[in-house]
Amino acid sequence: MELLIAIIIGVLISGGVFLILKVRTFPIVMGLTLISYAVNIFLFSMGRVKVNLPPIITQTSTAYTDPIPQALVLTAIVIGFGMSAFVIVLALRSLHELGNDHVDGKGIKQHLGDKK
């Protein structure tokens, strides 16, 4: 289980880094998303991997899983969601203002749907 999670985090991060190093905004957005998935899994596993245990202590329970990483992941997911939305809108705006999806605006001008 731990090995599987570690491999997943590694694959997500390497894919994310690869995509971020591209010069176009769409791969960068995808890369950022992959990295934020990896972060979420990493944070989640920081409370140690425990299967089928409740995050609360009751009088009958003998074992429990740490609830704090779950709360942290929830916060991170919400913030990551907001940030993704923002960066997508910004990428679209830069596409319209710079005329192409190169991060430095250096690519060839593209025709954007309604424009001539």
Partner 1 sequence: MSHISILPIIIPLFGAVAVLFSKVLNRQTQRTLSITLIFILLAVNVMNLINTIKFGYFVYQLGNWPAPFGITLVLDNLSASMVFLTSILALGALWYSIARNIDGAGEHFHVLFQLQLFGINGAFLTGDVFNLFVFFEVLLLASYALILHGNGKERTKYGLHYVIINLVGSSLFLFGVGALYGVLGTLNIADLALEVSKLAPENNGVVAAAGLLLLLVFGLKAAMFPLYLWLPGAYSKTSAPVAALFAIMTKVGIYAIIRIHGTIFGQEAGILSYYHLPWVLGFGLLTLLLGTVGVMASTRLKEQVAYLVLTSIATLLIAVGINSEEALSGALYYMFHSTIIAGGFFIFADTLSLLREEFKDNIIKTPLFKSMILSGSLYFLYAIAIAGMPPLSGFFGKLMILSGVMEKGYAWLVFTIVLFTSLCIIVSLTKSGSQIFYDSDKSTAPLRKKISMRIFYPSFYFLALSFILVVLANPISSFTDTTATMIFNVKEYIQAVEVF
Segment 32 to 61, residues that bind partner 1, using CB under 8 A? 32, 35-36, 38-39, 42-43, 45-48
Q: How far is the CB of 46 from partner 1 (least distance, A)?
A: 4
Q: How far is the CB of 57 from partner 1 (least distance, A)?
A: 14
Of the residues 5, 8, 30, 91, which one makes contact with partner 1 according to CB under 8 A: 91
Q: How far is the CB of 31 from partner 1 (least distance, A)?
A: 9
Q: Are 40 and 81 in contact, with CB atoms under 8 Å apart?
A: no
Q: Is 25 in the site for partner 1 (CB under 8 A)?
A: yes
Three-class DSSP labels, the chain: CHHHHHHHHHHHHHHHHHHHCCCEHHHHHHHHHHHHHHHHHHHHHCCCCCCCCCCCCCCCCCCCCCCHHHHHHHHHHHHHHHHHHHHHHHHHHHHHHHCCCECCCCCCCCCCCCCC
Query: How many other β-carbons are positioned within 10 Å of the β-carbon of residue 102?
Result: 16
Q: How far is the CB of 113 from partner 1 (least distance, A)?
A: 19
Q: Which residues bind partner 1 (CB under 8 A)?
A: 20, 25, 28, 32, 35-36, 38-39, 42-43, 45-48, 68-69, 72, 75-76, 79, 82-83, 86-87, 90-91, 93-94, 97-98, 103-105
